[in-house]
Structure 1
Amino acid sequence: MAEEEFDSFTLPNGMRCVHRRPGRLAGQVAHLALTIGAGTRDEAAAQHGVAHLVEHLLFKGTTRRSAYRVNSLLENAGGELNAFTTKEETVVHATLLRSEFRKGVDLLSDMVFRSLFDAREIDKEREVIIDEINSYKDSPAELIFDDFEELLFAGSPLGRNILGTPRNLKRATRQQLVEYVSGHYRPDRIVFSASVEMPHSRFREICERYLAPFEATQGGVSTTEERRAPERQPQFDVVRHKNTYQTHCLLGGYGYDLHDERRLRLAFLINLLGGPASVSRLNMLLREKYALTYNVEAGYVPYSDSGIYTIYLGCERDKVERSVELVRAELRRLRETKLTAVQLARAKRQFLGQWILSSENTENLMLGIAKSVLVYNGFEKSEEVAAKIGAITAEELLETANDIFAENNLYTLIYK
């Protein structure tokens, strides 16, 4: 009898594990990740930048492996090793041959639980990140998002950018890094997810060997602060003068958090408004109809206790006023005009199709499942997500648009 596609369980130390068995036709590739429930918003004020610095240093040697061995172990067999930091998670992940899976689990656990944080490597990596920070000054289309969140979440750790500041990085000590890791890199705050063709029983054996030995509490003194929902800020309409050819504009406001059942409706509206498809409303309006901008896009990021929606566009300076006027008109249209049955059906088909296509990317699928387990202690199957999308009504979307796209929840930041 064939095994179920998914198996999930919790190790004695509290680490949650999810295994996807894709079937023999999936080939020889495996994807695995350790998703840690700690990011930049979990830093104390004096630690700003530490979470991202720690991520860099995970590649710089452990008690069992040199930096070269960490970076070459999988790559020498054609695999890939990477990591990233968000405001609420840190993820270490790898793509490798199925035959190298056991080796990959051993390596990831070694990096997360046995990193050295050598003083010389800290000095080198802080300079690398400072250079990364400075490079953002040449990328206004990226920098504007950090500046917008800093304004929208002023006074909250959510408003801090992920990279940190040169000043804080220069002052960061090894003790701060160790304290951050000991306070947050705990098995009960970590999810291990993997897609690999092997029996569930064999997967459990590997987890028990390489992940279970780490204790639930590693000790140490944490200087981090408890998460607190950000306070709502007064509306702003900020213009900052930059020496750039193109004018960059970001509009947006607060969105639903990860625990709000309306978040799927908002994601649906954002996709309709300015998703990746060329037929999104704003792309058809600003680019195709009026040729005002090369790029316009909308996004929505839910956090554990807040959220943010954004609409970004870049255009020539004399076109920005008209572009903003059209964006506001489209938001007003979503607030005032209910989607017809035909429009709703078309939008659902597109939204569901995009979700299915994205879930075919196995790496993205497993990272998404890991975050779901981290937040909700479980995950939805594809048919459950499809049913929820199918159940969305035009009345619900109108209600959501009036709640989120209201005039008093529209903030703007312009670089010109």
Structure 2
Amino acid sequence: MPNQTLEVRVPNLPESVSDATVALWHKQPGDAVTKNENLLDLETDKVVLEVPAPADGVLGEHSSHAGQRVKAGDLLALILTDAAAAKTARPPTEPPAPKSESSAPAAVASPSVRRLLAENNLDAAQIAGTGKDGRLTKEDVTSYLAEKSAKPAPSERRPLEDDAGFAAVAAAPPANGHRTEQRVPMTRLRARIAERLLEAQHSTATLTTFNEVDLRRIMDLRAQYNARFEKEHGIKLGIMSFFVKAAVEALKRFPAANATIDGEDIIYHNYYDIGIAVSTNRGLVVPILRDADRMIFANIEKNIAEFAQKSREGRLSMDDLKGGTFTITNGGIFGSLLSTPILNPPQSTILGMHAIKERPIAEDGQVVIRPMMYLALSYDHRLVDGREAVQFLFTIKELLEDPARLLLHL
């Protein structure tokens, strides 16, 4: 009886996405798979899509390989689903038994090679020799050291990322004086980020205005109500919900900050979809809090927490990322004290938050220590005048320094 096969094809791609790149195969040919198990990841310039197995069976040869561009409907692989195919499933591989010292090629290596192995505490059995009869050469050892130094240790923490999502990877020290380089293809998301950053720089008249805010009263509110808030709503009371609420109130008072330019027209949005910039190991993404003006503090905190988790797991959908009328980005979580955020086109404004630092300030003729944060508002000067931008940011400052105004709409 011939094998029954099912085709695994590229699913329908999100609107405005023409193709995708095969990012990573989680299953190899011959592996047993179960229905709905993720076979591979497809990367677009906006999201990562998972391709599940359509049925139980055994995965056949890959028709598309990592790094290959594919379109909706393209064949990715075949799955054998009959019972006979199940018998051919690849069994779990056992790790090879460690070689004994007597089998190590170090004994027949040259003195310079043996010295290099000893200096770097290396096991010769772990290095493939390319010399005569498999003998180790000095080049084999130095190549092994260079490759090893280029790979991060499994126990290392994931490098921190700045506000634009670039990994702050420390350069590995050169091995024995050899300087190495590594060339990797830019991910689709990183390429799209680069394209949009250049677009923002070239197509807008961007200026930035700054202010500082005293967060003492917000900190006092959190200290007073956080335990009760968490018990009531199942999530901690953060500061982002205060910033979202303050931004929405300021946007209501300054409609130009919530507008966009479309050709020779200005579109004033009568809704408030706030983008929250989230940094991931793939780059910066901006999921959207839709109708943020209708949300209570708890719903804002829950949505932001959900966005953060989904972004870490690569589960953000196109619906999560579409649209947005205003963006908030928080470089303070990485320690940034001051920055100039770049606009997120076609939006006309973006608010930059920064690290909270206790600093001495003058208050009623006295020098006091307060938890202070610098705020930065970048705006498109074609649409937002300097006076409006300064007043908009000052409104956010006033609302944050006296949170009761958020409830009283003052």
Asked if Structure 1 and Structure 2 have the same fold, meaning a TM-score greater than 0.5 normalized by the shorter chain, the answer is no
Q: TM-score range by the shorter chain?
A: under 0.3
Bigger radius of gyration among the two: 2
Specify which structure has the higher proportion of strand: 2
Higher helix share: 1
**TM-score by structure 1 length?**
0.24
